[in-house]
Structure 1
Amino acid sequence: MKHRFLGTIWWLGVKELWSLWRDPAMLVLIAFSFTVSVYTAATAIPETLHHVPIAIVDEDHSPLSRQIADAFYPPQFMPPAMIGHEQVDPGMDIGRYSFVLNIPPDFQRDALAGRGAEIQINVDATRMSQAFTGNGSIQQIIQGEIADFMRGRGQAADPPVDLVLRARFNPGLDKSWFGGLMEIINHITMVSLILTGAALIREREHGTIEHLLVMPVTPAQIMLSKVWSMSLVVLAAAALSLNGIVRGLLHVPIEGSLALFFAGASLHLFAMTAMGIWLATLARNMPQFGMLMILILLPMQMLSGGTTPRESMPVLARDLMLAAPTTHFVELGQAILYRGAGLDVVWPSFLGLAIIGSLMFYLSLRRFRSVIGSMA
């Protein structure tokens, strides 16, 4: 009896895979989500400085001003354009320069004499993706060059405290490491929800759900077949993306165990596929399903801790999001992939996903049974 029960789940799942194979729109969505979307999310991080146009008005023409100008180079900045005062406003008005530095006359002499020396930084704040990060980087570069110049002339006093920065898990502070992996984590959530919901709605629209009702299958078997088949597709796509895009093209090192990560992803998919079936029982067609999915998916992903640290959120939001599977999945995903954590560290997240997934499957099964009962 047990073998017959499992065999039915297996063949129903195979049927789901064949249905997905004949759905080009879904195949394109899966391929795009785990390839192009992951790569662009990693390489187009808004805060990353890449070939930022910068200009310098050098009124000092001193060794110090030339040393400052030489400190800006690719790939963070484009080679500085040396311009005059009359070119500053027109250049920024048409968006030719994101930053313009104005080094005043006698800047080096005032710095060596210990008098107040100022450099004006003009920022195009309409480029929000670069303005804040670039402003801070430029200030650090200028201060570092001035300090090196002064030390070379024996006029720089050692500071009483020497601050040493050591970045763990991402020594180069490369934001593509964060963007690529988080995009895979987010797409595991999104695609699993879409595939299972679309599979059930597709059967209802094509009339095949009525065929299942006259067969000796139970609602639990139908649900489990959709869960394992769609989860398998998402896991395979995520594995290929991790190894082909993240490791291959982006050269992002994976610190922890991929087997442990995919074990956690399987629990997460169990919860999300059950949620997708529950949403599909509420919607009558794909447009309605899409609207319901947006209302649930966006808050779950925005408040999961993947975009903003949970510690910075209101206490009420943090407590409510403990009931969302995305919170626990993001937590275990970051701990394993970024910091190399083991099961002894992430077991609370595994337990949370198991509890939420079981509860979600139970609620979805009850709802699915009632819907099928009304159709019989």
Structure 2
Amino acid sequence: MNHLLNIFRLGIKELRSLWHDKIMIVLIIYSFSIAIYVGATAAKSEIHNAPIAFLDEDRSILSRKIIDAFYPPRFKSFKLASFDQGDEGLDAGKYTFVVTIPPNFEKEVISGKHPAIQLNIDATRMTQAGIGAGYIQQIINREVANTLHQSTILPVGIITRMKYNPNLEGSWFGGVMEIISMISLLSIVLTGAALIREREHGTLEHLMVMPLSAFEIMLGKVWSMGLVVLTAAALSLQFVVEGILHIPIAGSEILFLCGAFLVLFATTSMGIFMGTIARTMPQFGLILILTILPLQILSGGITPYESMPDILQYIMKLAPTSHFVSMAQAVLYRGAGIEVVWPDFIAMFVIGLVYFSLALMLFRRSLSASS
């Protein structure tokens, strides 16, 4: 009972210290509010206001229909007078696409010939270039088929149903994934910074002379900083993701937060481990950069987990964030229940125990060396 009371009091001490650290408070508020909103709305993968220019050498009814079919918000169209304007616009980054409709285009189409339309693309804008080329081809084919009064229906009917995100809104994916990334980042930062702050202020030496064990000191930091991140994530999910961004949550938020609790057990232990190795905040920041970037990029939150090399997939299975991303996507996107995500829960718990044990071993050794 005394051990539990000590852990509780140490956690309260950490919460009070965090409350007086205004920079950290601002960082937490920013990370789970403005950063979530910016991450969801700024980096969109779908076509939006893509600049496209047309050089109409045919000047027919069909060419005008094709040009008029490109309208906002997907495209922002311009009309050109010469080839040189198109080349200059692509070189200057003014246009992403330049479409050239050749002379006698409509006449050749009606006569059954197969005239070619030239499409020049600024491939340095990779996302727009890849997606926009498909859009442009579909729009031109549709207008030509309508002019010839031909049916575009294939012999085999294809019925497409978009699950969860029918309009393929990029913000729906970005908003939730930003919360997942911030949970991992802030939990490591807060626990590591709390340990370094005590070492710099000399309060760690005060704890060492008290009847406290390294286990109690470490667990006090883990539960208090984990509680702060978990509370901030729950509020962000409720008010920012669902309230401001209007992103629907398909599954149980309680189940997601339970999974977040397990991953916080691992990531806060990682923060203690890094805070023990680093002696100053600049050193901790450098170690954090080398750690958090692979965790966020290779955990399946930015790129599909299955698209990575097999050896990298096996390595990342040792990271708690890989299982957390898999669990979160299944619960929040597809409405999965515990019967689906229980392997990820077990994996996060086991990995958390391993990370906690390693961090505790190093933390004890550090305290022994300092005494």
Fold equivalence (TM over 0.5): yes
C-alpha deviation, 1:90, in angstroms:
2.8
The 3-state SS of whatever aligns with 1:284 is coil
Q: SS at the partner of 1:256?
A: coil
The answer to whether the 8 A contact 1:46-1:129 is kept is no
Distance (whole Å) between structure 2 residues aligned to residue 92 and residue 315 of structure 1: 39
Distance 2:39 2:109 in 1: 43
**Farther off after superposition, 300-309 or 189-198:** 300-309
Which residue of 131, 145, 163 maps to 1:168?
163
Q: Residue 143 of structure 1 aligns with which residue?
A: 141
Is the partner of 1:164 in helix, strand or coil?
A: coil
Q: How many angstroms apart in 2 are the aligned matches of 1:74 and 1:156?
A: 26
Kindly state the Cα deviation for residue 46 of structure 1 after the two structures are TM-superposed: 5.0
Match of 1:159 in 2: 154
Counterpart-to-counterpart distance in 2, 1:143 and 1:35? 43
C-alpha deviations, 1:211-251, integer Å up to 9, x for none? 11122222111111111111111112111221222112221
Change (3 A) 1:341 1:57: same
Does 1:305 find its partner at 2:305? no
Q: Distance in 2 between matches of 1:162 and 1:294?
A: 50
Q: Residue 40 of structure 2 is aligned with which of 24, 39, 42?
A: 42
1:181 maps to what in 2? 176
CA distance in 1, matches of 2:317, 2:354: 14
Q: 1:12 to 1:254 in 2, by over 3 A?
A: same
SS at 1:37's partner residue? helix
2:9 paired with 1:11:
yes
Residue 220 (1) aligns with residue 218 (2): no
Q: How far apart, in 2, do the equivalents of 1:355 and 1:95 lie?
A: 51
1:209 to 204, 208, 226: 204
Counterpart amino acid of residue 83 in structure 1: L
1:34-90 alpha-carbon deviations (Å, 9 max, x no partner): 122211221122533221222212222223222222221221112x22221142223
Matched to 2:216, the amino acid is Q
Indicate the residue corresponding to 1:121 in structure 2.
119
Give the deviation of 1:156 after TM superposition: 4.2
Q: CA deviation at 1:208?
A: 0.4
TM-score (norm 1): 0.94
- Contact 2:44/2:171 (CA < 8 Å) preserved in 1? no
Deviates more, 1:266-275 or 1:66-75: 66-75
TM-score by length of 2: 0.95
Contact 1:46 1:130 in 2 (8 A): no
Tell me the SS of whatever aligns to 1:323.
coil
- AA aligned to 1:287 is P
Task: Say which SS state the counterpart of residue 215 (structure 1) adopts.
Answer: coil
Match of 2:75, SS state, is coil
**1:53 counterpart SS class:** strand
- 1:106 aligned onto 2:101: no
User: Contact 2:187–2:225 at 8 Å: present in 1 too?
Assistant: yes
AA paired with 1:104? P
Q: List per-residue Cα deviations over 1:172-215 (Å, max 9, x = no partner).
A: 11111111111110110011001000000000000000111122
Aligned partner of 1:52 in structure 2 is 50
Specify whether residues 7 and 84 from structure 1 end up closer, same or farther in structure 2 by C-alpha distance, changes over 3 A only: same
Tell me the residue number matched to 2:330: 335
Q: Secondary structure at the match of 2:249?
A: coil
Question: Which residue identity is paired with 2:51?
Answer: P
Query: 1:23 is matched with which residue?
Result: 21
Instruction: Report deviation, 1:33.
Output: 1.6
Deviation at 1:259, TM superposition (A): 0.2
1:241 equivalent in alignment to 2:274: no
In the TM superposition, residue 129 of structure 1 has moved relative to its aligned partner by 3.7
2: distance between equivalents of 1:98 and 1:157? 28
Choose 53-62 or 178-187, whichever is displaced more.
53-62
Percentage of identical aligned residues: 54
Q: Which one of the candidate residues 93, 96, 100 is aligned to 1:95?
A: 93
Which residue of 336, 344, 367 corresponds with 2:339? 344
SS at match of 2:98: strand
1:163 positional shift = 2.7
The residue type equivalent to 2:71 in the other structure is: Y
Query: Do the aligned partners of 2:145 and 2:152 also contact (CA within 8 Å) in 1?
Result: no
One-letter amino acid of the structure 2 residue matched with residue 183 of structure 1: E
Separation in structure 2 between the aligned mates of residue 64 and residue 241 of structure 1, nearest angstrom: 50
Which residues of structure 2 form unaligned runs of 5+? none
* Aligned counterpart for 1:280 among listed residues 272, 275, 289: 275
For residue 133 of structure 1, what is the amino acid of its counterpart?
I
CA contact (8 A) 1:65 1:103 kept: yes
DSSP 3-state at the match of 2:50? coil
Shift of 1:93: 2.9
1:300-343 deviation line (CA, Å, top 9, x unaligned):
22221112222222211111111110110000000001100000
Distance 2:12 2:131 in 1: 50
Indicate which of 59, 62, 84 corresponds to 1:61: 59
Question: 3-state SS of the aligned residue for 1:193?
Answer: helix
Q: 1:149 deviation in Å?
A: 3.0
Cα offsets for 1:85-128 (capped at 9, x unmatched): 14222333332222121111222222222201211112122323
1:126-156 deviation digits (Å, cap 9, x = unpaired) = 3234222222222222222223333xx3x44
The reply on whether 1:317 has 2:312 as its aligned counterpart is: yes
Distance 1:149 1:241, change over 3 A: farther
1:242 partner SS:
helix
